[in-house]
Amino acid sequence: MSEHSIVEISNFKSIHLQNERNLYVYLPPSYEQAQNTTYPVLYMHDGQNIFHPAFNGQSWNVHHVVNRLVEQGKMQEIIIVGIENMKEERANEYSFHTLNEDSLQVPPALACIQPKGELYEKFIIDEVKPFIDEQFRTKKEAKYTALMGSSRGGAITYHIGLKRPDVFSMLAILSPYFYYVNPHTLQEFSQVNVLAQKANHKKIWIDVGQYEGLLIRIGHVKDIANKLLACGYQHGKEVAYYQDDAASHTEADWEARVHMPLLYFFGKEMKLAAVELKGRSSFGLNEKVCSLNAVKTFSNGVKVTDLQGEYQVGNERIVSIAKDGTIIPKSVGKTVVQFQSEGIVSSKEIEIVDYLSDRVPVSIQVNSKDALLDALRVYADLPLKKVDSHHFYNQFILPIDTGLGFRLYLDDGKGEVDDYGAPIHHRIMITHPLHKKFTVKRWL
């Protein structure tokens, strides 16, 4: 099999944004030989991270993923266009909403003072896409064109894609940043526009990880998926939602599941292989927002969460289950819940207890072997205050089921590493009051 190639378009200028950046274009293995063949195109934000390592040393490695899927006969060949972000301008270019750090106490890295989402939209549609269509053998129509991004890149994919189905008929929205949540007050600030009516999209993929902390809340993403279905999109056929119970918020996590939207868009018909009910087994009678995660696994490796599932409850006086997995507690007791799809069944015992707090006290302490004279904060996904040069600490009240997946960082960008210089990653699932202590031997 021939090798793929990645063409770098250096210093591509934008009139709309008055700046320039690199574009990275993946051409499939057959591109040079099959001179009469045209290809579907996937446009991706944060283009410097999809083929090459990001600041944290991780990459989506999407070229390797696509090559593997094509070699396995699971998907067709495509062209991929990686659009580099502008670093300090990333938040502004990927946003349609203002998020002011002064009035809302938003960390500078999350703040958006001058949103340029509309200009970025024009940049992609009026400048990047015409250039790509002219320079490469693309299938130009919307039905062959996809847009993909994660975090803020997921949010801008959502907003641009829903506005312009005439350009992008397929949208992959991974870990979208739809809300800012203040870690101290849990006050939420929306960064998302809600679609009013169904548009002419072929397929929309939207997902979220269990360990994305307060940055990306499962409830926010699931709510948008449900709203898309309420607009008239067909579940499974036109909208696929996946809640990954093992994923945090890194390029490595997106690399691990990017094959799913790729196969959803460009793969063959999927056949259901297994179903599994995931999530907590114990719920409080007082809880207002809690749910199960009904995961359907297909023979090609794609996983989706069923938002229109069929449930049977052994004792309906104890609990009922909505189609999207939402738990509705009724009385204290235990019962068995059964989920089925296409004749495949998964069961789970559920217990409803009298009370379970939906807000959990959490304290995090970091002890540093080396004195950190200049550091003001340590970040364990959440900001920790300096006690002295060796100790950092903070207390939080967090929503139950919050998963924190993080690496310990200093405010100068240095992170915790092991004796060999490899990054150390941590995970915490918040289900009960917790005090977590970390001792860091080395920062790099």
pLDDT at 110: 84
Instruction: Give 76's contacts (C-beta < 8 A, 6+ positions apart).
Output: 40, 70, 266, 267
Contact between 323 and 312 (Cβ < 8 Å) = no
Instruction: Locate the domains of the chain by residue range.
Output: 5-268, 275-353, 359-440
CA distance 101 to 156: 20
Please state the pTM of the whole predicted model. 0.96
Q: What is the pLDDT of residues 384-428, one digit of tens each?
A: 999 999 999 999 999 999 999 999 999 999 999 999 999 999 999
In the numeric block, which tokens belong to residue 278? 């995931």
| pLDDT over 60 (residue 6) | yes
Query: Would you list the DSSP string of 138-150?
Result: B--SGGGEEEEEE
The CATH number fitting domain 359-440, selected from 3.40.50.800, 2.60.40.10, 1.20.58.1030, 1.20.120.450 = 2.60.40.10
Check whether domain 275-353 has CATH 2.60.40.1080, yes or no: yes
Residue 87's pLDDT band (boundaries 50, 70, 90)? Answer: very high
CA distance 210 to 293: 11
| pLDDT over 80 (residue 2) | no
pLDDT at 1: 56
pLDDT at 103: 66
What would you report as the CA-atom Rg of the chain, rounded to the nearest whole angstrom?
23
Burial (CB count <10 Å: 0-12, 13-18, 19+), residue 113: middle
Query: Does the fold of domain 275-353 match that of domain 5-268?
Result: no
pLDDT at 280: 95
CA distance 387 to 375: 11
Q: What is the pLDDT of residues 365-382, one digit of tens each?
A: 999 999 999 999 999 999
CA distance 142 to 139: 9
Which CATH homologous superfamily contains domain 5-268?
Alpha/Beta hydrolase fold, catalytic domain (3.40.50.1820)
CA distance 83 to 12: 10
CA distance 147 to 157: 6
| pLDDT over 70 (residue 19) | yes
In the chain, the percentage of residues whose pLDDT exceeds 90 is 91
pLDDT at 57: 74
